[in-house]
Amino acid sequence: MDSALLVPLALGFGAIVGGGIVSLLVVAARRGRRAAEVISTAVPDGVDQVIDALESAGVVIDPSNNVVKASPGAFAFGLVWNQALVHPELVKLVDKVRRNGAPITKELELSRGPFGDANIYLFVRVARLGARYILLLAEDRTEGYRLDAVRRDFVANISHELKTPIGAVSLLAEALQAASDEPDQVKRFAKRLTKESERLARITQEIIELSRLQAADALAKPEIVKIDQVVAAAIDQNRVAADSHKISLVSGGRSTAEVYGDEALLGVAVHNLISNAIQYSPKGSRVGIGVSNSDGVVEIAVTDQGIGIPDDDLDRVFERFYRIDQARSRHTGGSGLGLSIVKHVVQNHGGDIRVWSQPGRGSTFTIRLPEASQVSAASLKEA
Ligand code: ADP
């Protein structure tokens, strides 16, 4: 072939092949972009920022139920794990909204996280977000539920605790009436009547104290309280009981420590510890009360050589109405409220209470309170 003809032919062929390849590439790129749009997990504009700003749980779910966006709260509540919703209950709600379109609001009790024992109560809202996504919002209501349960328990316990002495009082009154001609019987029933009414008065007083402590902040008007004075007064109040149980009260360690707070309430707390130490100790034993302070912490320790507390009960003795030996406690007139009052008083004063105990060896209850420093004491006086 003529070489002059060969050159333009080759050029033309090259242009056709090149053009074909370029247009193939352009088509492929367009298809690729469209495909990328279909599988893109991008969340609609603005939703990202809203979810990030949420304090509660917010989750965006795509059509395959993958989590494409979740707020830190959603992870903290244990709702999301491996880019999926942990709880089948939530997945069901999401599917339902996707099918029906209508938003759903529901209260749910769910396990906290994929393997946790604890439960969490959530107020959940699920709604469509644009055409493709589902938005799930959840608020934590666990604390509210817990408080409700505590209140229900408390009311049930109070009713039970009050019913027993009230029942006894009315039975004894009937017995008194029937035995009005027998002076000995009258004396016996009257004595028991006095005991039951004292018990009733004590429970009522303790319930009032406890409600007062829970309702108000004991440190709303804090005063400087001398700890030595509180301890000495509490020992004095328990002297008669100690003498009648033949128990010696030994106080050790003088201290000039002062704390901010309510002297009367702190007095009740120390009194309750000493009174328990006497109640749960054998005749002839000793109860020690020590005060110490170091590094800004004031410690009041009450030690006895009594019956002690089994390991399993140690955590529970501070619960309201908790008594290890119901029968014995009823006999001693205990209401099971004493230690929970101590715990509340101490917590209201920014402190804590610890217990060491061994059955048969005795117990030590230690109250720890933050010491009022001299600087802040001066500023309190000026104020
Ligand atoms: P109570 O009025 O029954 O004494 P508390 O709340 O003061 O109620 O105490 C709860 C329970 O803890 C008591 O019933 C008793 O079983 C146990 N307990 C408290 N203090 C002592 C102690 N010092 N030694 C042994 N057991 C104690």
pLDDT exceeds 50 at position 179: yes
pLDDT digits (tens, 9 = 90+) for 65-115: 999 999 988 988 889 988 999 999 999 999 999 999 999 999 999 887 666
State mean pLDDT over 1-14. 62
H runs (alpha helix) in 54-178: 72-76, 88-100, 142-178
> Which is higher by pLDDT, 28 or 140?
140
pLDDT of residue 30: 56
> Among the atoms of ligand 1, which is closest to the Cα of residue 334?
2
Q: Are the C-beta atoms of 110 and 89 separated by less than 8 Å?
A: yes
> Among the atoms of ligand 1, which is closest to the Cα of residue 362?
24
> Among the atoms of ligand 1, which is closest to the Cα of residue 340?
6
pLDDT digits (tens, 9 = 90+) for 206-256: 888 777 776 665 566 678 999 999 999 999 999 999 999 999 999 987 788
pLDDT of residue 39: 41
99 C-beta neighbours (distance < 10 Å), count? 8
- Ligand 1 neighbours, Cβ below 6 Å, are 272, 276-277, 280, 304, 306-309, 317, 322-325, 329, 334-340, 363
Q: Are the C-beta atoms of 108 and 89 separated by less than 8 Å?
A: yes
Q: Which residues of 215-239 are buried (b: 16+ CB within 10 A; e: fewer)?
A: eeebeeebeebebeebbbbbbeebe
Q: What is the pTM of this model?
A: 0.61
Encoded tokens for 63: 């059509």
pLDDT exceeds 90 at position 292: yes
Cα 277 to ligand 1 centre (Å): 8
Name the pLDDT band for 284 (thresholds 50, 70, 90).
very high
Cα 279 to ligand 1 centre (Å): 8
